[in-house]
Chains A and B, each alone.
Chain A
Amino acid sequence: MKRITQHPLFWPVITLALLLVVSALFQPSFLALTWRDGHLYGSVIDILNRAAPLMVVSLGMTLVIAVRGLDISVGAVVAISAAVAALLVGGSFSATGEVQAVHPLWVALASALAVAAACGWWNGLLVVKAGMQPIVATLILMVAGRGIAQLLTGGQIITVYYPPFFTLGNGFFLGLPVALWVAGALWIALHLVLSRTALGLFVRSIGGNPEAARVAGVRSSAITLCVYTFCGLAAGVAGLIVSSNVKSADANNAGQLLELDAILAVTLGGTALTGGRFTLAGTVIGALIIQTLTSMIYSLGVPPEVNLVVKAVLVFTVMMLQSAEFRQLVARLARPDKSLAGNRR
């Protein structure tokens, strides 16, 4: 039993389960799944689908945080990626009424991802070569990136008319949303790379003690640069999902505040913000917790003006639940007869 409660994923899983139970209590149909038109439907599927972009961004963020970094530009990169893809696909009605893409779909997707990866690479350069504090380095792109996205879209919302582009954010494959498959594939691929190569060991050594890693001959700069580049790439993927889902690119709002949700998801999952210790599975659960929270607030019918306050209270509660110190304090208060020393480990 103790081994289960001490597992690093124990509290994240409990938190998620609690949220699901509460949701189910308020909304009896919450856990219901139905099969329609060859797809699964239900609130849970909806949450998984909507959580996909956050999951993808958070996976990238997990690695950045694991090497003692931070990337607060991911929201802006989502907007850039969405803008590039939407511009390149575009779509216009031909004389026959058929929709034509401006550029082939793969060109648009690849360009968006390349631009996003370049954004991540730029962040990495500032951190590794210029020696900037990660939060400052990525703050630059956080502000400038949204500007770039607005420049690209000319300040307009760019609507896409080319249907194949919508698959990513709206399609289903084997009954499940395509976006979920993308997020899952990214998770598995990342897990394999980290566990089947030495990357996981190197990332943990850099996060645990950067100087020791360097002395041991680990190419810390190169690996850190790769990690930031990957984080940008992941934000690019999320940008594609988001823009495909809403069939347009909105430079002002796409990925707005997503960086904060991603950091929160990583933290909720149990990755240490101080670097070194990270968990991909935890991050995925963290992203699901956040999306479940958001969905819960909507389904409870909370008025929009108190929405953020309710979310803050819920996040606060969740964080307290996950704090070992807080749980100890509660345990101590619950057993006032025992001495202070006795409750310490």
Chain B
Amino acid sequence: MMDSPAVVLQARDIARAFPGVQALSGAQLTLRAGEVHALMGQNGAGKSTLIKILTGVCTPDAGSIEMLGKAVTPESPIHAQELGISAVHQESHLLPNLSVAENICAGRYPRRPWTRGGGIDWRETERRAAELLAGLGINLDVTQLAGPLPAALQQLATVARAVATDARVLILDEPTSSLDADEVQALFALIRRLRDKGVAILFVTHFLDQVYEICDRMTILRNGRFVGEYACAKLDAHGLVAAMVGRELAASERVPSTQTATKGDAPPVLAARNISRRGQLKPLDLELKAGEVLGLAGLLGSGRTELARLLFALDDRDTGDIAIDGKPVELDGPADALRLGLGFCPEDRKHSGIVADMTVRENIALALQARMGLTKFLTLAEQRQIATKLVEALGIKAASIETPIGQLSGGNQQKAIIARWLATHPRVLILDEPTRGIDIAAKQELMNEILELARGGTAVLFISSEIDEVVRVSDRILVLRDRARAGELPRGATEDAVYSVIAATHHP
């Protein structure tokens, strides 16, 4: 590689405001050929806005973009692609009912000459797609339907589609957030191959270790402002976090464990016996005591979410009984669960968490109001008071509590959903991947919040794919494997101990 590789894309002094928020001001970004460049920042730092501007989803209020020295203004995602800027977003956007080849060539299908009847040349479509994938070292049958493919292969095919248009700049927006470790490596292999072909790659992620594994340089944004551009070798993780947060943060330090003695003889707040659901969870017992954080660890598909959904009665269980305070209860739907003092923050925020059109205040008040019923109506003043208090307590960043929640950044949406449940003062709070997709400072605040809750006597079931988080907050750790209990570890267990239970190398 050359010492100072050629600049492909240069964005200068980009500014953009949305109603109530200055999302970006004075942002700078320089992407060079054959380099992987990380775009770092907390939730709401302006990363998404900058990407939207580069890909023509929205236009900047001020600033200039140069592509290979020529000023450009991407006006739509298609226009951006024509300029050589392609993007891959968090979730793969393949059409599930089309084959891989059809997906890859979508929008530019090869045509048969009219002498052969015209129309789309499907054989050529498949040949081109197969050639493209082979050239990128992806081993995939292009005639398969895209829908049933694992997330990781879909992600690889999406990247392939993005570069099929001879992209000079490839933007990867949190491409690894739903991939496991092996799948991440497969994606990284592809990224390296593209990098070596001279593509300038912009990589956005919340995983710091991935930044240091694959990136050459990084640009840091904070509160919509440009903090700086650094070579990855020159800025360590500590410095990076400090630059993102704007202050020193003891991110890697161990959170003090809850010391609340779980009252010895009191019956568990929540006890589930022999609960199961066909194809989702094998019969399993579980107890949760007041003031306890029970961590739930396991790989994707190990039955973590399924267990949470059974406990909150979102799915019907085939077998098993649930007792609250030692008394058997009827638990046949989320409304029952809510009445009994349970709370549940779902994994999929967009699909089953937020009501995007409603305001932050209404989203926070929703569960409490559902619990109080139709007629005992929280007045506007009461709703405002509750929402304001929780917005402050959790540090939710929003223009106002009357802003539609859909306009908040992901991490702030997540906090607002947690606030929704805190408002109901739950006795048991189930958190399914509450830290997914939120930045490191917010994660830290969230973990402290969880411990604070437990100190107040709430029983917390904490589900996370990040084993280090589970280890840090949990009083006990329940490990699931293949939809069944694999083992249980006490407080203070190391990450390695958890991994070995997950990997079944040892049976406690």
Report which A residues bind B (CB closer than 8 A).
Answer: 196-199, 201-202, 204-205, 208-209, 211-219, 276-277, 340-341, 344
A198 and B374 form a contact (CB under 8 A): yes
B contacts with A, residue count (CB < 8 A): 35
B374 and A276 form a contact (CB under 8 A): no
A204 and B355 in contact (CB under 8 A), knowing A198-B373, A217-B370, A219-B335? yes
Complex CA–CA separation, A218 to B337 (angstroms): 11
- The residue on A at minimum CB distance from B334 is A217
In the complex, how many residue pairs between chain A and chain B have their CB atoms under 8 Å apart?
85
- The residue on A at minimum CB distance from B343 is A217
| Chain A residues whose C-beta falls within 8 Å of the C-beta of B339 in the assembled complex | 217
Q: Which of B160-168, B228-236, B356-364 contacts A (4 or more CB under 8 A)?
A: B356-364
A201 and B356 in contact (CB under 8 A), knowing A216-B420, A341-B59, A344-B59? no
Complex CA–CA separation, A226 to B371 (angstroms): 18
Q: Which of A196, A209, A215 contacts B334 (CB 8 A)?
A: A215
A216 and B356 in contact (CB under 8 A), knowing A197-B375, A340-B75, A341-B59? no
A218 and B370 in contact (CB under 8 A), knowing A198-B378, A209-B356? yes
| Chain B residues whose C-beta falls within 8 Å of the C-beta of A219 in the assembled complex | 335, 370
Complex CA–CA separation, A219 to B73 (angstroms): 48
Q: Does B344 contact A (CB under 8 A)?
A: yes
B367 and A198 form a contact (CB under 8 A): no
B377 and A216 form a contact (CB under 8 A): no
Complex CA–CA separation, A340 to B365 (angstroms): 41
A276 and B370 form a contact (CB under 8 A): no
A217 and B59 form a contact (CB under 8 A): no
Complex CA–CA separation, A204 to B337 (angstroms): 22
| Chain B residues whose C-beta falls within 8 Å of the C-beta of A213 in the assembled complex | 355, 366
Cβ of B403 to closest chain A Cβ, rounded Å: 15
Q: Does B46 contact A (CB under 8 A)?
A: no
Cβ of A14 to closest chain B Cβ, rounded Å: 23
Q: Does B151 contact A (CB under 8 A)?
A: no
Q: Which 3 A-B pairs rank lowest in CB-CB distance, beginning with the nearest?
A: A217-B338, A208-B355, A217-B370
Q: Give 20 pairs: A residue, B residue, CB < 8 Å, sorted on A.
A: A197-B375, A202-B369, A204-B355, A205-B355, A205-B362, A205-B366, A208-B355, A208-B358, A209-B355, A211-B351, A212-B351, A215-B344, A216-B366, A217-B337, A217-B339, A217-B371, A219-B370, A276-B355, A276-B358, A341-B73
Cβ of B423 to closest chain A Cβ, rounded Å: 11
A277 and B334 in contact (CB under 8 A), knowing A205-B366, A212-B352, A218-B366? no
Complex CA–CA separation, A177 to B372 (angstroms): 41
Complex CA–CA separation, A201 to B366 (angstroms): 8
Q: Does B354 contact A (CB under 8 A)?
A: yes
Q: Which of A202, A204, A217 contacts B357 (CB 8 A)?
A: A204
| Chain A residues whose C-beta falls within 8 Å of the C-beta of B346 in the assembled complex | 215
Q: Which of B357, B367, B374 contacts A197 (CB 8 A)?
A: B374
Q: Does B353 contact A (CB under 8 A)?
A: yes
| Chain B residues whose C-beta falls within 8 Å of the C-beta of A208 in the assembled complex | 355-358
- The residue on A at minimum CB distance from B362 is A201
Complex CA–CA separation, A213 to B358 (angstroms): 12
User: B297-317: which have CB < 8 Å to A?
Assistant: 312, 314
Cβ of B108 to closest chain A Cβ, rounded Å: 24
Cβ of A223 to closest chain B Cβ, rounded Å: 8
B318-357: CB near A (< 8 Å → 1, else 0) gives: 0000000000000000110111000010100001111111
Known: A209-B352, A214-B334, A217-B370. 18 other contacts (CB 8 A): A197-B375, A198-B373, A198-B375, A201-B365, A201-B369, A204-B357, A205-B366, A212-B352, A215-B344, A215-B346, A216-B367, A216-B370, A216-B420, A217-B335, A217-B367, A219-B335, A341-B59, A341-B75
B338 and A204 form a contact (CB under 8 A): no
Cβ of A128 to closest chain B Cβ, rounded Å: 13
Q: Which of B358, B372, B374 contacts A205 (CB 8 A)?
A: B358
| Chain B residues whose C-beta falls within 8 Å of the C-beta of A212 in the assembled complex | 351-355
- The residue on B at minimum CB distance from A208 is B355
Cβ of B48 to closest chain A Cβ, rounded Å: 18
Cβ of A269 to closest chain B Cβ, rounded Å: 17
B352 and A202 form a contact (CB under 8 A): no
| Chain B residues whose C-beta falls within 8 Å of the C-beta of A204 in the assembled complex | 355, 357-358, 362
A215 and B353 form a contact (CB under 8 A): yes
A276 and B357 in contact (CB under 8 A), knowing A211-B352, A215-B344? yes
| Chain B residues whose C-beta falls within 8 Å of the C-beta of A276 in the assembled complex | 355, 357-358
